[in-house]
Structure 1
Amino acid sequence: MIDLVNEIKKVNHSQEKRNNFTSLLVEHPDLLPELISICAQVDKEISCRASWGLEFLCRHDIKTILPHLDAIIAILPVVYQHPAVRPMAKICEYLIFSYYKTRSSTTRKQLHQIHREKITEACFDWLISDQKVATKAYAMTSLYQLGTEFTWIHPELKIILEKDYPKNSAAYKARARMILKKLAH
């Protein structure tokens, strides 16, 4: 029996630890519901490490989380600790890229419209709230792609980026410029 909590506590940003945790999840996909449940414990510090682990898995193979989309997407509006929000935003970006850019047939079958709408809501919330730059950058990128389907998103995204541009960091401005340039075409 694998003690998932103990394994999560070992996770950090070193390549070795990320690879070890990802390998564990690939070998034991039955651990995913428990991992997602720990991610959902948003008031506990371990949820942050669990979210990192879920992000690492998604980077390796996004398809592994597709059967669990309802549970993952339910976490998005309640996650609030910065170290957990960033990986959740990155997971959304992975899903959106898989759906819109690589057009994965598996993702396109399982990432339903209601999921995409909830990701849209979360991304707008992250973009307009007090979040770190990485979270906002992932949200911008996801919203740009979502706006290729939902036409109301691009005008709203443009308004927010233009309004917030002057008061943000160089990293924010760099991503915002890239997105605004795409929106101009």
Structure 2
Amino acid sequence: MSSELQSKLNYVTAYRENRLKVAKEILENKFFFEELVAVCFSPSDKNHHKACWILEFVSYEELNWLQPHLDFFCSNLKILKDESAIRPIAKVVQLVIKSHYKKNENSILLSETNLQECIEASFDWLINDVKVATKAYSIRTLYILGNYYNWIHPELQIILNKDYAYHSAAYKAVAKEVLKKIE
């Protein structure tokens, strides 16, 4: 591991400005990006959740940097267990899926295997005990995917209707929005 990236991650805190500062440094030094992705999926690394925070911010600006790493990224979604890592990665998955279906010259291109891994991870996050933000990103990701896989919307509808009463107002708002689009 590059001691320079690790030392940057050591000083990252949950404060948005702090995360943005390190993301800006990565955006100015693309050579850190591959290692950043590797750290995201190294749960034994004490900074792995911080790397995920930074990857989310970098992805808002340079999502296409992820293209050569998609097989690694998608195949490792299932290894994430820390809520602090899952939430930003769920957002990145949503960005990747949106980009894939945009179909322009800057679109992310996913293989069928990549898509299946994103579907599996999103359903796992939706049905498992994770925080509402992760569930909201998963719901929206699955809604988009359901426009291309005819079995997803019916499954999503069942889960949302079944779980609706047991969740927070934020979950209910997203569920209601998506259920309305599906019906």
Normalising by structure 1, report the TM-score. 0.91
Q: How does 1:1-185 map to 2 (within 5 A)?
A: 3-100=4-101, 102-108=102-108, 110-184=109-183
Unmatched 5+ stretches in structure 1: none
State the shift of 1:163 in Å: 0.5
1:21-65 deviation digits (Å, cap 9, x = unpaired): 222222222212211221111134311001001111001221111
State how far apart, in whole Å, the 2-side matches of 1:104 and 1:96 are.
13
* 1:56-86 CA-partner distances (Å, limit 9, x unpaired): 1001221111111112112210101000000
Could you tell me how far 1:144 is from its partner in structure 2?
Answer: 0.3
The amino acid of 1:158's aligned partner reads: Q
Size of the alignment, in residue pairs?
A: 182
CA positional deviation for 1:99: 1.9
Q: Percent identity at matched positions?
A: 37
CA RMSD of aligned residues (A): 1.6
Q: TM-score with structure 2 length normalisation?
A: 0.92
Deviation at 1:8, TM superposition (A): 1.2
- Give the conservation status (yes or no) of the 8 Å contact 2:100–2:107: yes
Runs of 4+ in 1 over 6 A off after TM superposition: none
Cα distance in structure 1, aligned partners of 2:27 and 2:104: 20
| 1:94-116 superposed Cα distances (whole Å, 9 cap, x missing partner) | 1112122x4343335x2222111
In the alignment, is the contact (CA less than 8 A) between 1:22 and 1:60 conserved in 2? no
